[in-house]
Amino acid sequence: MSKPFEIKFNFPLEHSLHTIPLMATAELHHSEPYYVIDGFYFDGHKPARSSLSLLPSVQVKYKKIAGKGVWVHKDSERESALSQAIGKAIEESGNME
């Protein structure tokens, strides 16, 4: 695994125009390139040491589907609003491999 880095993204609420600004820690896993994302917190709020993550750990990877690059969940190989938002944040961080 590589050095962890922070990402920030807006998580879109389903069937709504609202988004939730979140931050999380991403880390590249090198065997089969994918990212492990954990420690989800509201952006702008420093979590206390005992704080629980808002979401469980997520694994995403970049994949070409029909010639188009998409971010999918590692286990299901499917794209979601969450995988798209996380992937965009990884790309914008400059830490994508």
Q: What is the pLDDT of residues 61-84, one digit of tens each?
A: 999 988 999 999 999 999 999 999
Q: Is residue 21 part of a domain?
A: yes
The domain in which residue 71 lies consists of 5-90
Torsion, Cα of 66, 68, 71, 76 (10° steps):
0
Number of folded domains in the chain? Answer: 1
Question: Cβ of 75: how many Cβ atoms within 10 Å?
Answer: 10
Answer yes or no: is 29 within a domain.
yes
Q: Model pTM?
A: 0.88
The 10s digit of each residue's pLDDT in 17-75 is 999 999 999 999 977 889 999 999 999 877 777 788 999 999 999 999 889 999 999 99
